Amino acid sequence: MWRRRGGREGASGRYASSSDAKRFAARLRALPGVTEVLDTGADRFAYECDGLAILRGNPLAIAFPDSAEGVQGIVRACGEAGVPFVARGAGTGLSGGATPMGGAVIVECSRMDRILSIDATNRTATVQPGVVNADLSAAVAPLGLGFAPDPSSQAACTIGGNVAENSGGAHTLKRGTTSAHVLSLEVVLPDGALVELGRRDGHAHGYDLRGVFVGSEGTLGILTAATVRLVPRPEEVSTLLVGFPSLGAACQAVSDVIASGVLPSALELMDDRTIAAIEASVYAAGYPRDVRALLLVELDGSAAAVACERREVERIAAARGAIEVRVARDEAERLAFWRARKSAFGALGRVAPDLYVHDAVVPRTRLPDVVERINRAAAARGIRIANLLHAGDGNLHPNIAFDRRDADEAERVRRVGEDILRICVDAGGVLSGEHGIGLEKRYAMPLLFEEHELEPMRWVHDAFDPEDRCNPGKVIPEPRACREGDPRRRGDDARGES
């Protein structure tokens, strides 16, 4: 959670003067494989944060490589100068993972956007990190294939960001998060070495460094290419909207669906505030407004399987008192249902100047109780929450629309955020399901892990980045002794906007 800290970090980070910083930027500009370097005040301002705009850093410069060679050059130059660096894709992350700390150089990977190869026979693709998630699926669609992870930001977010955050999305329930879809990663390590983690044929041996790199939020190195699995497009897809008179009834229906053996490809839940925001926006899809909770259920597979499962879902919906069940009549309506759902954050963002999107996971059967407790905790602080859930996964996204210029409201929002995490951890949950820890929740890691349980994560980090140059100040808190001994501990130089 963001906090106001004393003073603003020096404009040039670790550089003593702006002229030194300019000289360093010029050095980066001259590197092979680097197409552009931005370092004016206005440019740096634009890169102070990612999708979590309430936490800001101060980059030294923004460098745009177009190749692994360019990334290696930047990383080595930073190493020699003692400057940290942080990779960035589309900047859609919601936990401050790409926020530049300690005067870091931003390695902007959006120009590494080529699909290097597609192997339809073995259903794999090798791509650069700046390829946009939806573009990859579009490119392989004519082959009857797709890339399974589909975060709401898929029209903008990149594969590099998906790997960094182990992104999920609505269809995680059936197909798993990014980690299940990555075979190998070409990575520039913090010392500038280029290595492959995993193998393109999937038969890697040694430790699963691929697995630990995915979701490491850019703290172990910079991705320069990924070989990913592609999945066949299902023969049949059926999408249903099911309206309920209460959030609890909808949550019960979710548990019933899973218990019945039906495994939907997506099982999304929206509360009435979210529905109202969507229907008041340009993304309106005709969602029913007279319900307290709405399930978006997608079934896919063979035609026979989908028909069976749809009957089962309709039976469960009726048993749980559904007010309305609507099946998408055609592909256009199905896409409209999804466009509205995936635009929910945008729609909620219209309600107030700022939107704080939370992300936590609890055991699915605890959802009704947890949502109720969160709503109560927020109400006690005078805050209204709109809930959006990947309900089949137990993944909650409580959304808070607020105005950060109102210091009192911003402080209450901050406290509600802490309440949410405590409620979820108390319920046996975890701090994040898909947005990551980043800068935002680093402080909260001790809520979940004992000090000695954080140590193995530090061992992993030290093996990759012993000098702590790669996206410092993220994910893993400093050892308790350091936290208690140094009030200006690393990572606390983020400028809070509260």
Partner 1 sequence: MNVASVFASLVGAPHVRAADRPRIGDRVPDAIVCPASAEEVAACVSAARRERVAIVPSGGGSKLHWGNPVDAERVILLSLARLRGTGGLDADEGIARVPAGEPIDELFRAAAAVGRRAAFEPLHEGATVGGTIAADPVGPGYGLDRRLRDELLGLRVVLANGEIARMGGAVVKNVTGFDLVRLLCGSHGTLGVITEATVRLRARPEVTRVLARDEPDAERAFADAAALRELPGELTGAALAAGHGGLRLLWRLEGREASVQELETRVPGEDSGGSWSSVQRGIGSARLAPDSGRVRVRLGARPSDTAALWDTMLRIAGAPAPRIALPLGGVVFADVPLDALHEVQAHVHRSGWGMQVEGLPVELAQSLDAFGAPPAGHALHATLLCRFDPDFVLSPGRFVRKIDAHP
Measured from the CB of residue 11, what is the shortest distance to partner 1 in angstroms? 32
By the rule CB under 8 A, 467 interacts with partner 1? no
Task: Single out the residue of 203, 481, 487, 488 in contact with partner 1 (rule: CB under 8 A).
Answer: 203
By the rule CB under 8 A, 426 interacts with partner 1? no
Task: Single out the residue of 454, 469, 473, 494 in contact with partner 1 (rule: CB under 8 A).
Answer: 454
Measured from the CB of residue 193, what is the shortest distance to partner 1 in angstroms? 8
Q: Are 217 and 438 in contact (CB under 8 A)?
A: yes
By the rule CB under 8 A, 368 interacts with partner 1? no
Measured from the CB of residue 392, what is the shortest distance to partner 1 in angstroms? 8
Distance CA 356, CA 361 (A): 17
Measured from the CB of residue 154, what is the shortest distance to partner 1 in angstroms? 17
Residue-wise DSSP of 76-106: HHHHHHT--EEEESSS--SSSTT---SSPEE
Per CB under 8 A, contacts with partner 1 among 36-65 are none
200 vs 489, which CB is nearer to partner 1?
Answer: 200
Distance CA 345, CA 239 (A): 21
Task: Single out the residue of 214, 241, 285, 313 in contact with partner 1 (rule: CB under 8 A).
Answer: 214
Distance CA 338, CA 130 (A): 24
Segment near partner 1 (CB under 8 A); pick from 39-47, 56-64, 200-208, 283-291: 200-208
124: Cβ–Cβ under 8 A, 6 or more apart, which residues?
118, 183, 200, 227, 228, 229, 230
Using the CB atoms, write b or e for 260-296: b if 16+ within 10 Å.
eebebbbbbbbbbbbbbbbbebebbbebeeebbbbbb
Measured from the CB of residue 350, what is the shortest distance to partner 1 in angstroms? 28
Per CB under 8 A, contacts with partner 1 among 218-237 are 232, 234-235
Measured from the CB of residue 42, what is the shortest distance to partner 1 in angstroms? 33
Measured from the CB of residue 259, what is the shortest distance to partner 1 in angstroms? 6
Instruction: Give the residue carrying structure tokens 């009435």.
Output: 272
Q: What residues form DSSP beta bridges with 298? A: 239, 266
71 vs 401, which CB is nearer to partner 1?
Answer: 71
226 vs 241, which CB is nearer to partner 1?
Answer: 226
Instruction: Give the residue carrying structure tokens 């505030």.
Output: 273
Per CB under 8 A, contacts with partner 1 among 246-265 are 255, 258-263
58 vs 162, which CB is nearer to partner 1?
Answer: 162
Measured from the CB of residue 10, what is the shortest distance to partner 1 in angstroms? 30
Residue-wise DSSP of 158-199: BHHHHHHHT--BTTHHHH--GGGGEEEEEEE-TTS-EEEEE-
Q: Are 390 and 432 in contact (CB under 8 A)?
A: no
Q: What are phi and psi of 411, to 5 degrees?
A: -65, -40
Measured from the CB of residue 411, what is the shortest distance to partner 1 in angstroms? 25
Task: Single out the residue of 240, 437, 439, 470 in contact with partner 1 (rule: CB under 8 A).
Answer: 437
452 vs 488, which CB is nearer to partner 1?
Answer: 452
Q: Are 78 and 14 in contact (CB under 8 A)?
A: no
408: Cβ–Cβ under 8 A, 6 or more apart, which residues?
none
Segment near partner 1 (CB under 8 A); pick from 34-42, 135-143, 333-341, 390-398: 390-398
Per CB under 8 A, contacts with partner 1 among 306-365 are 307-309, 361-365
Work out the burial of residue 202: count CB atoms within 10 Å of its CB; fewer than 13 is exposed, 13-18 middle, 19 or more buried.
middle
By the rule CB under 8 A, 201 interacts with partner 1? yes
Task: Single out the residue of 59, 464, 469, 495 in contact with partner 1 (rule: CB under 8 A).
Answer: 464
Measured from the CB of residue 73, what is the shortest distance to partner 1 in angstroms? 20
Distance CA 462, CA 261 (A): 43
Distance CA 73, CA 127 (A): 20
Distance CA 144, CA 146 (A): 7
Q: Number of residues in contact with partner 1, rule: CB under 8 A?
A: 87
109 vs 189, which CB is nearer to partner 1?
Answer: 189
Distance CA 190, CA 75 (A): 7
Per CB under 8 A, contacts with partner 1 among 111-170 are 119, 121-122, 165-166, 168
228 vs 351, which CB is nearer to partner 1?
Answer: 228
Q: Is 332 helix (H, G, I), strand (E, B) or coil?
A: helix
Task: Single out the residue of 216, 224, 238, 343 in contact with partner 1 (rule: CB under 8 A).
Answer: 216
By the rule CB under 8 A, 417 interacts with partner 1? no
Measured from the CB of residue 429, what is the shortest distance to partner 1 in angstroms? 6
Task: Single out the residue of 137, 158, 172, 343 in contact with partner 1 (rule: CB under 8 A).
Answer: 172
Cα–Cα separations (whole angstroms), residue 228 to 12, 14, 124, 487: 38, 37, 5, 42
Distance CA 441, CA 3 (A): 12
